[in-house]
């Protein structure tokens, strides 16, 4: 496979010269030479059904990112500690390692990933390994390898072993020609980032495997996700996380988007709840395999005003990053998630004031917040 080897060498040179430095797992070059495999054209796959007493065996790839650790915690409460395996190619912190099963899993190493699924009798797979929007634009070959080649490995393994597969999508799957306010589930999708292109690819490939092979593929388009227990990881919406850290540490925040840039957002607890709900929903309730979900939509200016209710002296300035701004301007301003609310009862719990209060409660108070209150 000369093309794969050439890509492997090119990505290898890129990683050796620059590294990733973004908090995103750097993928070993050797893994691009994956073993060839096929899904037989006449195969018919069906996902496993679970009774109340027969819990799924879960694998989470890319588990040390923004969502994986929180999802593992939620699923372990639901299905039992030892039934949920967190995986990544990075070494986990002690608290993560000792909280439940953890394993090294490289999504570009097809053979190793397949062995993990077989040896651990995995029945549900949550595929979170991906490079985010701004990071992906800075490292397109790596983003293409992780976000697309890795997806192909996961799809083939999920189909071969009858897994229920969840792959998250994103507001980045839409582009400047998509309707932005609101953006429906089905419309034109022409993203202009490698991240967005890879997510559209994931949606279409997952749905193809569902209709062609019967793979139980499920997908949610996440808005910007806000959480307090992970650092920003290179996404365009990460300003909405950084503002809380900077407000507490310095009382100053410099935003890299324009003050009137409106984007759909969601607190992480709502995101994790929606993910579990769609995975547990009976297949007959799902009229589609990829859904929008949303909770709120706000601008940097509106977020700052709410933050200033807790830290009145917060100084908000703007230094627009042209790359991130162009990405944000091509994304939805509001998500239409009526299908999710109708089909499987999706309902969010956090609006903007509750989000801000929760973030500050989680991050803790310092003298400024204590004085403000």
Supply 41's token pair: 């054209």
For 31-82, the pLDDT digits (tens) are: 333 334 544 333 333 344 444 348 999 999 999 988 999 999 999 999 999 9
Confidence bin at 141 (pLDDT 50/70/90):
very high
Report the pLDDT value the prediction gives residue 54, as an integer from 0 to 100: 80
Confidence bin at 327 (pLDDT 50/70/90):
confident
Report the pLDDT value the prediction gives residue 18, as an integer from 0 to 100: 34
Report the pLDDT value the prediction gives residue 136, as an integer from 0 to 100: 85
Q: Which residues on adjacent β-strands are paired with residue 218?
A: 166
pLDDT at 250 over 80: yes
Compute the mean pLDDT over every residue in the chain, rounded to the nearest whole number. Answer: 85
Report the pLDDT value the prediction gives residue 135, as an integer from 0 to 100: 82
Report the pLDDT value the prediction gives residue 46, as an integer from 0 to 100: 37
Q: Do residues 127 and 65 lie in contact, with contact meaning Cβ atoms separated by under 8 Å?
A: no
Catalytic one among 110, 128, 195, 222? 195
Cα distances (angstroms) measured from residue 301 to each of 81, 144, 181, 249, 254:
41, 34, 19, 20, 12
pLDDT at 143 over 70: yes
| Catalytic residue status for 128 | no
Which residue, 155, 151, 204, 158, is CA-closest to 56?
Answer: 158
Give the whole-number percent of the chain exceeding pLDDT 90. 75
Domains of the chain in sequence order: 130-370 (3.40.50.720)
pLDDT at 13 over 80: no
Supply 134's token pair: 């701004």
Helix (H, G, I), strand (E, B) or coil at 169: strand
Q: Do residues 109 and 31 lie in contact, with contact meaning Cβ atoms separated by under 8 Å?
A: yes
- Mean of pLDDT values over 163-182: 95
For 61-70, the pLDDT digits (tens) are: 999 988 999 9
> How many angstroms separate the CA atoms of 120 and 118, rounded?
6
Which residue, 78, 74, 65, 135, is CA-closest to 107?
Answer: 65
């Amino acid at each position: 496979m000369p093309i794969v080897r050439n890509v492997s060498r090119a990505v290898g040179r890129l990683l050796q010269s620059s590294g990733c430095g973004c908090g995103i797992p750097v993928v070993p070059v050797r893994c691009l030479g994956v073993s060839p495999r096929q899904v037989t054209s006449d195969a018919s796959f069906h996902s496993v059904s679970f009774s109340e007493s027969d819990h799924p065996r879960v694998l989470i790839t890319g588990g040390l990112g923004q969502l994986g650790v929180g999802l593992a915690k939620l699923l372990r409460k639901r299905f039992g500690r030892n039934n949920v395996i967190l995986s990544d190619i990075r070494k986990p912190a002690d608290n993560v390692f000792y909280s439940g099963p953890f394993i090294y899993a490289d999504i570009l190493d097809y053979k190793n990933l397949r062995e993990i699924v077989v040896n651990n009798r995995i029945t549900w797979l949550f595929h979170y390994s991906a490079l985010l929007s701004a990071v992906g634009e800075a490292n397109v070959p790596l983003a293409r390898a992780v976000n697309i080649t890795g997806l192909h490995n996961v799809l083939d393994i999920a189909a071969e072993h009858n897994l229920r597969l969840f792959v998250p999508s994103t507001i980045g799957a839409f582009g400047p020609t998509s309707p932005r306010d609101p953006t429906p589930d089905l419309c034109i999708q022409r993203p202009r980032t490698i991240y967005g292109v890879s997510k559209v690819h994931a949606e279409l490939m997952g749905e193809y495997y569902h209709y062609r092979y019967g793979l139980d593929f499920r997908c949610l388009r996440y808005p910007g996700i806000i959480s307090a227990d992970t650092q920003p990881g290179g996404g365009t919406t990460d300003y909405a996380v950084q503002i809380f850290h900077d407000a507490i540490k310095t009382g100053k925040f410099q935003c890299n988007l324009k003050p009137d840039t409106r984007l759909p957002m969601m607190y992480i607890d709502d995101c994790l709840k929606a993910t579990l709900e769609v995975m547990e929903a009976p297949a007959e309730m799902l009229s589609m395999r990829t859904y929008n979900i949303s909770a709120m939509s706000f601008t940097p200016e509106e977020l700052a005003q709410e933050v200033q209710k807790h830290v009145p002296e917060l100084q908000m300035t703007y230094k627009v990053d042209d790359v991130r701004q162009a990405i944000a301007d091509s994304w939805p301003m509001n998500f239409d998630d009526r299908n999710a609310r109708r089909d499987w009862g999706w309902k969010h719990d956090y609006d903007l004031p509750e989000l801000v209060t929760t973030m500050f409660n989680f991050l803790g108070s310092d003298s400024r917040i204590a004085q403000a209150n």
